[in-house]
Structure 1
Amino acid sequence: MTTEIEKQLIETNLRFRIATRTAKLGYWVFEVASSHVEVSDELLRQLGLPSDYTWTLQSWKDRLHPDDYDRAITQLATVTDGNPSSYFNVFRLRHSDGSYRWIESIGDFVYDDDNKLVRMIGTHQDISRRVEIEQALDAALENSIQANEALQRSNHELEQFAYVASHDLRSPLRGLHNLATWITEDIEESGNEVPESVREHCQTMGKQIERMQALLDGLLAYARIDQSYTSTEPVDLNKIVSEAIAFVEADSKFEVRLHSELPTIIGNPSPVMRVMVNLIDNAIKHHPGPEGKILIRGRVAEDGSAEVSVEDDGNGIPPEHRERVFRMFETLGKDRKSGKGGMGLAMVRKLVHSCGGTIRFEDSSLGGVAAITRWPTEASQPKSKKTPELTHRFVEAITGSGELAIDANTPPNSSS
């Protein structure tokens, strides 16, 4: 007859087996004096071995990855030869299919009455997938760092080019401008009759010089835009837009007003102000008539970001040109011959992107075009930006130096 205690032991053992199987957690028992090892079916399954396989200490040693062998053996010897407080070992074991699996082994100890270590009991878990994920994240982070460094170099080169354009190219431009001025003055002072075409050519040359100066100024301004406005202070868009409207000082024939309450965003007031001033001013300058309507609307988008649109009742922008207008030196229609730099919207987009936002053009309900910007808010920010990390003990156990190998089958940086 089975006693109540025996029933409880059977029940406890059943629960333990279910728990370890569900968690895919193998276990082992190591008799220190005899080196006898008892292992669970799950441990054998992790290595592709049959349940009747006879596992010994030598089996473990034979399956150790060559680059992990000395470190893993030393770790075990440190425990069995001393007075340990814990056992933690990470190594690669050869699977029956010939590949290697990362294993995490954690042990506890049983002592006799003389406080001598007689038995170790521990867990055996296949963590290959976890290591692969950690290594993939590590590789992705490294690639991201390299890409960021390359981008910074590119931006630095662009800034250097802008300074060269600003200083080295401005000097001959000034010389050409002076030359055109002197020729014009000489013609007027000579009193001689000069063909009208010569005067027209001089005027054309002056305009082209001014246009080149505007292009250089625009390029320099574009390059000087900060690459990232990392400020996380709240920015009241209602205040920003109201100040932008006042700054532009539109003609009284233009109705420029804030049509709806705007959300509070997270960012830097300076670039946001520059964007709003530029968009309002752009809508006025490119309006086909002497009077018009410009409305600024706002709402909170589904992702929590703040959406602000600057809409007008002008001619609009054809859909096929709505991306093109953001390119440097691109102008449409009558602006092609205006002599202006064509850098305004390129700088606007760079400013918006530097704040973590986006900008696009769509049809306006007023009949013209709507410049729609999106800005980050507290609600749209990721809840956590922590990068998953290996524990210090785990990293040390794998590599001995706190650095992961890129491939699970590739030796770590240190095998000691």
Structure 2
Amino acid sequence: MERAANLTADDFRALADALPQMAWVAEPSGDIIWYNRRWYDYTGTTIEQMRGWGWRDVHHPDHVERVVERISEAFRTGEPWKDTFPLRGADGEYRWFLSLAAPHRGPDGAILRWFGTNTDITERKGLERRLARHAIDLRRSNEELEQFAYVASHDLKAPLRGIENLVGWIEEDLEGSLTGDVQTNMELLKSRVRRLDSLLDDLLAYSRAGRADATMDTVDSKALVEELAVLVSPPEGFTITADASLPTLQAARAPLTQALQNLIGNSIKHHDRPGEGRIRVETKPGGDAVEFVVTDDGPGIPEQFRERVFGMFQTLRPRDEVEGSGMGLAIVRKLVDRQGGKVWLADGSDGRGLAVHFTWPRDGRKGQADGLDG
């Protein structure tokens, strides 16, 4: 400490010149009285050119008025200052800098000097621009894909209805004559038509998932699950339990309802013992997020397939055994993602079945459904 107290002004100048940033000192009025060597090396100027407010000469003409206005206000109010702007180098090219300035005050609170630094952030600015372009391109691609899914599913409905009607008319014309393989093939044709109709419905639901979810509401999730337990019309003997842990929360009701309904419906559809099947919906303790768990006692999903089933049109059993488009979990993931949450699969209780976990923001704030600040 004693050696540090003996440092001279030349020592501090040498320290300032070694900084990777430009450094400067200004009078309380804002007149610049000193720059470190980094400033002169970059701008190719002299202290005589830069004294006072001469620094304006190396600012980009599109930004200089804004910078002068903002820094003048900081010098007037005595508040610390932060801004970004391009500065012209000795080669005539401009680079972006982050400028920070703070006042140094005396014992009476009066400003004695201003100290500031300029840090080159050109690479960061370039990265930000590239990320912004990528975000725009990604948003446009998503919008185009969703529009395609909507148009495809909507426009294909009409010819599909025509095929369905045609099959019905053929059956009426051949009533009493359909036997053997012809009858079997006719039933297979009708089954394929129903499957395509279901697939188009699910494709349309996927394209719309999470779109109109901005309206927040007070949702009693226990009452919601109890309503869904009736709405999905489970087979006789199948039980759906809404656990007492299910909370009341501020949430977008429509997407939460759709996510829970899809999961409950999936569990029923793929259960191997529907006459005695059980589903339990509960929540786990958390912070800003509610962790919902939908557990069934069905056949479950082998661990090696648990990521695959979140893809579109993915099923593990032949569609002739279980009617379905393979879109249920894809829709759930999209709904949860739109709320900033996560969804994952785990084993059910007692070594049987499947537990689907997903997080949902407790107070409607998207992007924090994992319980962490964004």
Which residue pairs with 2:170 in the alignment? 180
Which residue pairs with 2:268 in the alignment? 284
Quote the offset at 1:309 in angstroms.
0.8
The one-letter code sitting in structure 1 at the alignment partner of 2:25 is Y
Quote the offset at 1:137 in angstroms.
4.1
Match of 1:368 among 330, 353, 356: 353
For the residue of structure 2 that corresponds to 1:127, the secondary structure is strand
**Cα contact 2:346–2:356 (8 A) shared by 1:** yes
Report the Cα distance in structure 1 between the residues aligned to 2:207 and 2:62, rounded to whole angstroms: 53
Quote the offset at 1:262 in angstroms.
2.3
Higher relative contact order (CA 8 A, sep 6+): 1
Report the Cα distance in structure 2 between the residues aligned to 1:273 and 1:73, rounded to whole angstroms: 53
What is the correspondence of 1:64-75 to structure 2 with a 5 Å cutoff? 68=59
Quote the offset at 1:249 in angstroms.
4.5
**Cα contact 1:104–1:124 (8 A) shared by 2:** no
1:259 paired to 2:243? yes
Match of 2:149 among 158, 164, 183: 158
Deviations 1:353-401 (A, max 9, x none): 333333222101232111112111238469998xxxxxxxxxxxxxxxx
Report the Cα distance in structure 1 between the residues aligned to 2:98 and 2:163, rounded to whole angstroms: 70
Report the Cα distance in structure 2 between the residues aligned to 1:210 and 1:124, rounded to whole angstroms: 74
Distance 1:173 1:66, change over 3 A: farther
Gaps of 5+ in 1: 1-10, 30-36, 76-84, 107-120, 189-193, 386-416
1:329 paired to 2:313? yes
Which residue pairs with 2:232 in the alignment? 248
The one-letter code sitting in structure 2 at the alignment partner of 1:173 is I
Report the Cα distance in structure 2 between the residues aligned to 1:47 and 1:180, rounded to whole angstroms: 89
Which residue pairs with 2:284 in the alignment? 299
Q: How many residues align?
A: 333
What is the correspondence of 1:261-410 to structure 2 with a 5 Å cutoff? 261-289=245-273, 290-301=275-286, 304-333=288-317, 335-366=319-350, 367-378=352-363, 380=368
Please, what is the CA RMSD of the aligned residues?
4.9
TM-score (norm 2): 0.68
Report the Cα distance in structure 2 between the residues aligned to 1:297 and 1:232, rounded to whole angstroms: 21
1:206 paired to 2:190? yes
Match of 1:92 among 87, 91, 100: 87
1:26 paired to 2:24? yes
The one-letter code sitting in structure 2 at the alignment partner of 1:300 is P
* Structure number, greater radius of gyration: 1
Report the Cα distance in structure 2 between the residues aligned to 1:353 and 1:219, rounded to whole angstroms: 17
Quote the offset at 1:242 in angstroms.
2.5
Deviations 1:297-347 (A, max 9, x none): 21133x632111111222211112223333333333365434443433333
1:170 paired to 2:160? yes
TM-score (norm 1): 0.62
Quote the offset at 1:74 in angstroms.
9.9
The share of aligned pairs that are identical, in percent, is 22
Report the Cα distance in structure 1 between the residues aligned to 2:265 and 2:60, rounded to whole angstroms: 71
Which residue pairs with 2:71 in the alignment? none
**Cα contact 1:163–1:220 (8 A) shared by 2:** yes
Distance 1:158 1:179, change over 3 A: same
For the residue of structure 1 that corresponds to 2:314, the secondary structure is coil
Deviations 1:250-291 (A, max 9, x none): 456334213341244442112212222332233233222221
Distance 1:141 1:208, change over 3 A: closer
Report the Cα distance in structure 2 between the residues aligned to 1:74 and 1:342, rounded to whole angstroms: 59
Report the Cα distance in structure 2 between the residues aligned to 1:131 and 1:54, rounded to whole angstroms: 21
1:236 paired to 2:229? no
**Cα contact 2:100–2:118 (8 A) shared by 1:** no
Which residue pairs with 2:40 in the alignment? 47
**Cα contact 2:333–2:343 (8 A) shared by 1:** yes
Deviations 1:21-46 (A, max 9, x none): 699742267xxxxxxx9943x53344
Match of 2:119 among 125, 128, 134: 128
For the residue of structure 2 that corresponds to 1:253, the secondary structure is coil
Report the Cα distance in structure 2 between the residues aligned to 1:309 and 1:64, rounded to whole angstroms: 61
Distance 1:71 1:28, change over 3 A: farther
Report the Cα distance in structure 1 between the residues aligned to 2:283 and 2:276, rounded to whole angstroms: 24
Distance 1:196 1:156, change over 3 A: closer
Report the Cα distance in structure 2 between the residues aligned to 1:162 and 1:103, rounded to whole angstroms: 50
Distance 1:313 1:73, change over 3 A: closer
Report the Cα distance in structure 2 between the residues aligned to 1:282 and 1:142, rounded to whole angstroms: 38
The one-letter code sitting in structure 2 at the alignment partner of 1:236 is D
Report the Cα distance in structure 2 between the residues aligned to 1:338 and 1:202, rounded to whole angstroms: 19
Distance 1:317 1:125, change over 3 A: same
Report the Cα distance in structure 2 between the residues aligned to 1:147 and 1:229, rounded to whole angstroms: 20
